[in-house]
Amino acid sequence: MITLFNKLHSRCLSFTFRHPRTAATAAAKVNLSTAPPEPVIPCKKPIKVDLVGGKCYSWCTCGYSRKQPFCDGAHKTRAQGMKGLRFVPEKDSTVWLCGCKHTNNPPYCDGTHKQDFIVSAPLHEYTD
């Protein structure tokens, strides 16, 4: 038992610290990394899309979506910790959305797909 005395308020506070009991069971697999998961590369070029102003879109950030460049929720099982990037264009427009998922200006293509680390990387292959 540890007793603390607070001189300002003339109070004694008592605390009892105990070690929690832990059962000897098999530990579940845990990802101890604090780094977010890396996206896979579904496409090595931008994707031309016609967007409607004022409409909410969700751009796939993980690369597992089968509805590229948009999110279909595949990250919930394939890339936990990632989620779609929601955005609303101000006006109707035709834009190039990033297909490699490594842009520095998401969701728009910034030419990152031309860099060696993308050019030499394997494309993600969908499996059922």
Question: What pLDDT score does 35 carry?
Answer: 64
Is residue 58 within 8 A of residue 85, CB to CB? The reply is yes
Burial class (CB in 10 A: 0-12, 13-18, 19+), 87: middle
Q: Is the pLDDT of residue 119 over 60?
A: yes
What integer is the mean pLDDT of 19-32? Answer: 52
Question: What pLDDT score does 111 carry?
Answer: 97
pLDDT band at 127 (very low <50, low <70, confident <90, very high): confident
27-70 pLDDT, tens digit per residue, is 555 555 566 688 999 999 999 999 999 999 999 999 999 999 99
- 5 or 75: whose pLDDT is higher? 75
Q: Is the pLDDT of residue 95 over 80?
A: yes
